[in-house]
Structures are given as C-alpha cells and as structure tokens.
Structure 1
Amino acid sequence: MGIKNIIQLNNNAKVGERFSPTLLRFFRRKWLHVWKKNPPGTGLLVFGLSIAMIMSIPIVYVVWRSLFAGTNRWLRLLDQRIPELLWNTLSLTAAVTTSTIIIGVSLAWIVIRTDIPGKKIWRWLLAIPLTIPPYVGAVTYIIVFGRSGWARDLWRDTAWLVNVFGDYSINIYSFWGVFFVLTMFTYPYVYLIASASLRKMNRNYEEAAYSQGFSASEVFWKVNLPLMRPAIGAGGILVSLYVLGDFGAIATLRYVTFTAAIYFQRAAFDTASASVLSLVLIFLTIIILWMESKTRKKNKYYQTSNTYREPLTLELGKWKPIVVFYVSLIFFLSVLLPISVLVYWSKIGISMGALDGRFFGFALNSLKASSFAALICMLFAMPIIYLKARYPSIITSFIDKLSYAGYALPGVIVALGFVFIFNNHLPILYGTFYIVALAFVVRFLPQAMQAGEASLSLLSPRIDEAARSLGYPPWKVMLKVILPNMLPGVLSGGALVFVSSIKELPATLMLRPPGFDTLAVRVYFEAAEAVYHLAAPAALLIVIVSILPLQYMLKKY
C-alpha cells in the first residue's frame, strides 16, 4: 500500500473519530425528543416491540402470501369467486348491522327511559344473548326450524295450518336464516353501549326542546338521537366486524361468506387462494373502520357535566302492553327459546351418558387452552398499556395499534398466518395446544388491555416518579409498584379473554393438534351430524361459563 493511501486512511479515521460523537449526540437528541425526554427502559421497550411483532403475524403473512399468489389466481378469483362473496358478505353485514341498531336502540330506550314494569330485571335479561355464541344459537334454531325440526312436526300435526298455508316452508339454511340468528345474538353490542349513552344524557337539552314546542318524537329524533350517534356508531362497528369475521353460525347454516370460503380453501390446501380472499376481507375491515371514523368526525356533539340532571322517565300509557310484548318477544327469541332447547337436549344427552370421560376431556382441553391464553394476555397487556400511558410516543402508538389488529381480524385469518409461520419456521410448536392458545392471544389481547387501561388511568404518574427516584428501573416499577395496584383490572381482562377463548371456533378448528378437540369444536361437528344430544351439553356449558363476565360488562356499560 502506498504512502499516500496510508495518509488518506489516517485522515479518514481522524474524521470518523470527530464525526462519531457528533452523530451519536444527534441520534440521542432525536431519541429523547421522540420520548419527550422520558425514554423507557431497554428491556421494557424490547418486550413491547416483541409483542407487537407477534400480533402482526397474520397481517404480514396474508399480505406477503397474496402478493405471490400469481396473476392467474387473482384474475380467476376476481372473475368468479370474489364478486359473489362480496355480495354475500356485504349484504349480510349491512342487513344485520341495520337490524341490530334498530333493535338495540329501541330496547335501550325502552329499558332506560320509560316506565316499563321490571325495568331493572329487563336490563339484565336483554344482555344475556351476548353470552350465547351465534353458532350455538344457530344449532338451537336448526333444531326448532330445520327440515326435521320441532316447528315442522307441529306444522304437520296442525291440520288447519297445512290447509291454509300448504306444506312447511321455513328454510333456516338461507340468507334470512343467517340474518335472523346473527341479529338475535349480536344486538346486545348496540343495546349495552346505547344504554350507557342514554343513562348519561342530560335532561336539560330535552327540557329546552320541550319548551320550544317539540313533541316527544321530535325530541327523540332531533335531540336524543344526535347525542347517541357515537354510541350507535361504536355498537354498529362491533356488530359489523363480528359479522365480517363470523364463521360458526355461517358455516352451520351453510351460507358462504369470505370467512367460510377462506376456511374451505385452507382445508383444500389452497393457501394462496385463501390468502387472496383474506386480503380482500382485511381491506373490507379497514374500509368500514375508516368510514365510521370519518362520519364520527363530521358529527360531534358535546354536553357539559356541571349542570347534569338525570334524564326524564317517559310514561308509556296505552302503549305499555305493546311495548311489553315487543320486549318479551325479543327475549323469548334470543334467550328463552335457545336455552330451553339446550336444556331439553342436554337432559336427553345426560340420560344417555353424554357426560363421559370424552366430554370431560373436551372440557379440559378448552380449560387448558383458554387458561393459558388468559395468562399470556395478562402478561402481554401490562407492558403495552404501561408504555402507552407512561411513555407516549409514535413508537408506543405503533405498538398499541398492532396489538389491536388481531381483534379486528377474523379467526380464520389469524389461524392462516399462524399455520404458515409455525409450520415453516417454528415446527416445534406446530401441532401443539400452545399454537391454539397463542392464536387466542392475538385475537383477544385487546380485551385484557381495555380492562387494564381502565385501572391504570386511576393511578397517578407520581407513583412511578417516586419509585424511579429510589433507583427502580421502569420494568421494576411496573411489576413491583403499578401491577399490585391495578391487579383487579388485569384479572378482569384475563376473565374476559378466558371466556372469549372458550367460545372461539375457527382458529381452534384450523390450529388444533390431532385429538385436541374443545367444547366449541365438538358443538360444531356434533351439530353438523345432527347428534344433538351430544352437542347440547357442550353448548350449554359454554353458555353457563360465558355468563360469568356479564356482570363486568353491565358495570362497564
């Protein structure tokens, strides 16, 4: 090497020595600016980012796999499959969302704002359908209105019905059957949130409207309904996302939407087509969320709390019998009839020995996977909500949004991403119950986060500052100081995750190892084979367990 080259290298080294500290100081300033001069500990941040990566598995896989699905497959699906699925999915989503808004808002208005007899009891009873998974409701209505169901037998035994209307003609396996079942078991999403909004509404606005000569109906449409707009939108979004992602009720009633098509494509080992359909479904979800956020921004209404007065209670008068009949009919169709069917067939199943070792094995599998998922969710939720609340930045906002991604995705898409990642890159976990539990974590982590956030919001940041002043690192502050004070909220979130995991069907169907059937899986398969005396006890147990968090939900809303 020449003398000139050696001199040049030495000069470059000297420049690097002068430049490196300057560059480091620049990055350090930028880093502190991102965190507003309060960065979290490295361990806590790395743990949060690792959780975000796990949560992003389904989306990353679907996008990546669909990009390499091939032009021919895309064109074939766009020409033949996707238009039909779009119509089926969007029409069902629109119909169910509209009907649940009508039913949910009307029931909330009646229970909260009128003098209906037993209003406190009705408030609880009308929320019970939330504990019945729609696929369980679908099974009960097949038993009642199916081709060999109770209604058909009653119809044939009643001569005048046959003479006047002809042969039995109700077809539960149709768009209207799926629409009815999903409406009956999802309206509580709107009902609960609308009830909370009505309870908090200030009567001053109504009295001002009445003083201007408005009638009761005009006050409802021009005063109450605009103030309920955010609550109606939130409930409608929950219903829309549920219908978009539902598989159990749709497959049980043999109706085909995107989720059913994705599942059957995966069952046929055509993962490329399944990923293409999944990507379209993700776009639909994003579009719905975007439309709702835009309409919410254009319609903002505020009320002050310094002069708050409880809302008026309206007298039903001559309308009372009609209103009681309407509320009773909804309760009968969504609660009394389905649970009566389950109890009837469960008695038959128990008398025939349905509660055997096989049944308790299914229950144990459900308990094992759901408990593990609840524990992991409580473990994962704590650092995410702590980072978001105590160290707000664009990085923690990104982690928080990724953590909510799985909640907006159908279970079939989550399962599809897990199949690819674990089968190809982590085969040691593939074919174990751990992968099922991890899919539950991706699906239901936001439930644990929401409950934890509510508890953390009650704790002053000064507690953290005091602990940090004693030399505690951020992760130790979180575990030793904050966690004990917000433990009830964390446990409540874990309970919600546990119950949701027990009811989850599509992810369990696609990811369960051989011989690892859960209660939800057995309900699906036994009902498909019309072995109702074996399906009913498992379904009834799912409903009983699902009632446990109802009190928490009612307190929240």
Structure 2
Amino acid sequence: MSDFSNDYNIKKLNKKNDAKVGEKFSPTILRFIRRKWLNIWNCNPPGLILLLLGATVALIMSIPIFYVAWRSLFAGKSRWTRLLDQRIPQLLWNTVSLTAVVMVFTLIIGVSLAFVTIRTDIPFKKMWRWLLALPLIIPPYVGAVTYIIIFGRSGWARNFWRSVPWLVDNFGDYPINIFSFWGVAFVLTMFTYPYVYLITSASLRKMNRNFEEAARSLGMNNFQVFWKVILPALRPAIGASAILVALYVLSDFGAIAMLRYVTFTAAIYFQRVGFDTASASVLSLVLIVITIIILWIESKTRKNNKYYQTSNTYRKPSVLKLGKWKTVTILYVSIIFIVSVVLPIIVLVYWSIIGIRMGALDNRFIGFALNSLKVSSLAALLCMFLSMPVIYLKMRYPSIFTSIIERLSFAGYALPGVIVALGFIFIFNNYIPALYGTFYVVALAFVVRFLPQAMQSGEASLSLVSPKIDEAARSLGCPPWLVMFKVILPNMLPGVLAGGALVFVSSLKELPATLMLRPPGFDTLAVRIYFEASEAIYHLAAPAALLLIIVSIIPLRYMLSKY
C-alpha cells in the first residue's frame, strides 16, 4: 500500500513539474513559432480568411492530380503490366511523334510568318498581322470538321479529283487521306501556328537594330545575320511558344477524335466511357509525367537562353527589302491564310446557309446555346472571384506558401480536359453526390482548366495598383480579405473583366470535360458540333461552329493588343 501511494505521489509531482516547465517554456516556444511565421511573410502576414481562401482555391485546382496519382497507385500490378506491355508503348509513340511533328511545322511556319510581317516590306503589313492570327478563333475540332468535308472520302476535293481524268490517270485514285497521322498533324499545325507567330512577332518588334549592324560590319550577309544574330536572340520566344504548342497537342481531344487517331487523351476518354477508370487513371498518370518532363525541359532551356539588350541605345529593327522575292513571299503568306482561314470559313458558311434553310436554328439549337451561355458564364464568374485571393497573395504577400498556392492554381491549365474531368468524376461521385450530374460540376471543371487565364489578366492590372492603397485601408482597421474585395478589386476591375471574358470564350469551346461531366440532356454547342459532325450531319454542326468562331474574336482582340 505504501509503495502504491509513493508511486502515486511521484507521478503527481512529475505532472506538477511538467506543468511548471510548460508554463516556463510555452511562451518561448510560441514566440519562436511567431517569429518564424513572421519571417516567412517578411513581417507582413495575411489574414487567416485570405490565406484560407487561397488555400481552398489551390486545393480545388489540384484535385485532378491528386486523384490520378492516388487512383493509379491502386490500379493493380496486372493492369499496369498489361498496359505497359500492350497499350502504353503505342500510345506513347503516337502522342510524342505527333507532338514533335506539329512543333517542328508550327515553328517553321510561325517564325517565317513573323519575320515576313515584322521585318520585311511585304505590302499590307498591318492587314497580314491581323489575318494570320485568325486561325486562333477556330477550335481545332471545328477545323477538323471542315477539312473532313473538303478532303474526306466523299469530300469536295475527291469529287473534283475524280472529275478530272488526267489526275486519275497520272496519280491514281485520290491519294489524300485526312484520317491519318499526317492528316492530324496538318490540322493541328494549321490552328496552332499562331501561338508561335504571335510570341515571335512580339520579340522581333523589340529587337535592337544595333546588333544586326554590328554583324554586318563584320562582313555578314542577310542570311548569316538571321542565323547567327536574329535566330539566337529569338530562342526564348521560340522555346516558350513551342511549349504552348506541345501542351496543346498533348491535351487536344476533339480534332484527334474527329480524325480517328488515338493518343493518350482519346484513350483516356474511351477507357472512361468503358467504365475502366483504373486504366484511365494509369494512362492519365503517364500523360501527366510527359507534361512535367516537357515543362522541366522548358525551364532548363530557358535558364540557359537569356539575352539582354540595353534600352538607352535601343533602335527600331531595320526593314528588309524583298525585291525579287516579293511575289513568292506574298504567295506563301496567302496560301497559309487561305488554307487555315478562308477554306474553313467558306465550308462553315456554306453548310450554315443550308442548315438555316432546313430550320437548324430552332428551339433545340437555342437550348444548346443557352446551356453553353449558362455554364460558361458561371465558370467566368467563379474564375473572376477565385482568382482574386491567389493574385492578391502572390503580389502583396510573397512567401513559400503563396508560391505553392500559385503553382497548384496553374496545374489544371497544363492538364488535358479529360484528366480534369476524371478527377471530378471520382471526387463528386464518391464524396459530393448531391452535385454530381449537375452543370455546376462542369463549371467547376472549367474553373480548373481556365483559372490561370483570369489570373494572368488580373495580375497585370494589380501590378498597376500601388501597395500604399492597401496600407491606407489596413491602417483604418480593414482585414486583408476585405481590403482585397472592397478597395483593390474596384481599381483592377477592367483587368478582372478581361480575364473573365477569356475564360467565358474558352469555356464555350471546351469539349472533353463537357462530354464527360455533363448531366443527361445537357448538351452545349461544342458537344453538339462533335456529335453532329461525327454522324456527318454537317448542316446542324456548321451553324454552332460558326457561332463559336464569331464569339472567339473577343480573346483574339485581347491577345493582339497584348502581343
């Protein structure tokens, strides 16, 4: 009994001593934690509400990546082995080879067109600068539909070919096959080269003339100046635009599906349609790894390719006289414009007229347009609201936390729509079933895909707002989140609205995420274009496609003003 009471007293004494030690050292520990916290934020931490808002946005944006990584880990060894032995090698070759070929051709076309329109005396330069950027307003799956109508097995070109006996006798029965690797590469090249063209044009306009004159003083001719001076200085712009093209090709589904070519995105979609989500997640993880590798290569090459020029000696670049090459140059530029813009527009106008005469613009069409308007407007509003905390944290409270939040917020932009949709299917079907099968899930998927567009536009506007305005509002007792919405937002509203407009138009054209997430009976214009064109009902697909192109002029105007 005495031993028990002694043990009890010893334990009681130890608890008192521990309490005294805690009382003695807890303020020290708290001060240490507080000091570390302040150091992370440079003695200017954001409020808890603002930080939670930013963290919530980052969590929503990272759902697809976390889902794919988690689901693929439990896909099973047999499924991994089967896919690695049979499916993944062929998909890897199809995807990588297509991406490489499209990158090469877009670089050749984009750089050459930028040089011609910026650095030569080609007639109507201002007009060509606008016209050559127009392919951006045509979604590739819409372009694929028009090229199928022109070059398909029963298309206009084949009918013309067979009507000319000399062509059949000398070259055989119609040699063009649009449903092939080269057909897919051609379509994607025609509608992605403007990424290279616009970014390269912007760099060419800022290039200093002094470097070229120094090279000519050393005896170099125009060809040598281009290869040894101009082209090396354009490497950062060329690299950035090549990455944009590569990411677009990796994520494209519509044009690839229309032309019956199978890459990772198409395979993921068809696996999901077949309810094999485990295999779809494995393929998605491989595609994410490819995307990360491309981004890593781009970051490494960008560090090694840095060129600077002093502004105090800047002189506008000289204009090269084409001379005898003027006719050839005009012909080259005209062919690119006709193939990438004129022919698709002619096809769509032709079939739209037929469709309107046959009553295509009926209540059914209006319903599809209203569905597109509803879900795209909601996505734009959400992006404008959700982009604010991330932008504000990055610009006003830089730290390692805000860097992580920003990078996670950009994750969805680099992912194909099928992967984003796959993650949302799993999360909402298993944990938030009340929202699953509603158009709200489609809008949230659009937010994950296009939030960076709103962020980039809003960031440009916030950079023009002085931090002193924030300090004045904080000195009056406003918390950071209230300062952001009541003081800063009104001052950067034009940029926020511009970002919302970009998101709206991009959401109108988004196809794979809408296909996989839309509720029953909720079809948008993009979905109907896909299904009607797949069934060769072109008079119903063309009016919707033409409407999307007309609306897409909004972001093109923004991009041209930017570049």
Matched, 1:47 2:53: yes
* Equivalences for residues 191-230 of structure 1 within 5 A: 191-230=197-236
Aligned match of 1:537: 543
Aligned to 1:113, which of 111, 119, 129?
119
Residue 37 (structure 1) aligns with: 43
> Is 2:450 the counterpart of 1:444?
yes
State the aligned residue count: 557
Which of 235, 239, 245 lines up with 2:245 in the alignment? 239
TM-score when scaled to structure 1? 0.99
1:8 aligns with 2:14: yes
Look up the equivalent residue of 1:302 and give its one-letter code: Y
Instruction: State the one-letter code of the partner of 1:182.
Output: L
In structure 2, C-alpha distance between the alignment counterparts of 1:150 and 1:30, rounded to whole Å: 70
Match of 1:312 among 290, 303, 318: 318
Which of residues 515, 537, 547 in structure 1 aligns to 2:553?
547
Aligned-pair CA distance for 1:45? 0.4
Give the letter aligned to residue 130 of structure 1: L
The CA deviation at 1:491 is 0.5
**Post-superposition offset of 1:470:** 2.0
Specify which of 380, 384, 391 is matched with residue 378 of structure 1. Answer: 384
Give the aligned residue type for 1:344.
Answer: Y
State the partner residue of 2:351. 345
Instruction: Name the counterpart of 2:280.
Output: 274
1:175 matched residue in structure 2: 181
Calculate percent identity across the aligned residue pairs: 76
Are positions 1:21 and 2:27 aligned together? Answer: yes
For residues 399 and 166 of structure 1, the distance between their equivalents in structure 2, rounded to whole angstroms, comes to 59
Alignment partners' CA distance in 1, 2:393 and 2:287: 31
Counterpart of 2:234 in 1: which secondary structure? helix
Q: In the alignment, what sits opposite 1:391? A: 397
Secondary structure, counterpart of 1:301 in structure 2 = coil
Cα separation, 2, equivalents of 1:305 and 1:365: 50
For residues 226 and 489 of structure 1, the distance between their equivalents in structure 2, rounded to whole angstroms, comes to: 34
Aligned to 2:438: 432
Larger deviation, residues 242-251 vs 160-169:
160-169
Q: Which amino acid aligns with 2:531?
A: F
Counterparts of residues 53-64 of structure 1 (less than 5 Å): 53-64=59-70
Pick one of 165, 179, 183 that aligns with 1:159. Answer: 165
Structure 1 letter corresponding to 2:551: V
Query: Partner of 1:431: helix, strand, or coil?
Result: coil
Stretches of structure 1 lacking an aligned partner (at least 5 in a row):
none
Alignment root-mean-square deviation, CA: 0.8
Specify the code of the residue in structure 2 equivalent to 1:478.
M
> Post-superposition shift, 1:4?
2.1
CA offsets per residue over residues 417-439 of structure 1, 9 Å max, x none? 00000000001110000000000
Give the corresponding residue for 1:74: 80
Equivalent position of 1:457 in the other structure:
463
Q: What secondary structure sits across from 1:549 in the alignment?
A: helix
Aligned partner of 2:339 in structure 1 is: 333
**Structure-2 residue corresponding to 1:511:** 517
One-letter amino acid of the counterpart of residue 196, structure 1: A
Structure 2 letter corresponding to 1:174: S
| Cα distance in 2, alignment partners of residues 316 and 146 from structure 1 | 38
Give the drift of 1:294. Answer: 1.0
Equivalent position to 1:102, from 103, 108, 116: 108
Q: Distance in 2 between matches of 1:169 and 1:229?
A: 38
Per the alignment, in what secondary structure is the counterpart of residue 548 of structure 1? helix
Cα deviation for residue 169 of structure 1 reads 2.1
Give the match for residue 191 of structure 2. Answer: 185
CA deviation map 1:148-190 (0-9, x unaligned): 1111111111111111112112111000000000000000000
1:123 aligned residue: 129
Distance (Å, rounded) in 1 between the aligned partners of 2:512 and 2:358: 29
The residue type equivalent to 2:162 in the other structure is R
1:140 paired to 2:146: yes
* Residue from 497, 511, 515 that aligns with 1:491: 497
1:473 is aligned, of 457, 479, 485, to 479
How far is the alpha carbon of 1:459 from its aligned partner? 1.6
Structure 1 moving runs of 4+ over 6 Å: none
Q: Secondary structure of the equivalent of 1:256?
A: coil
Tell me the amino acid that sits aligned with residue 9 of structure 2: I
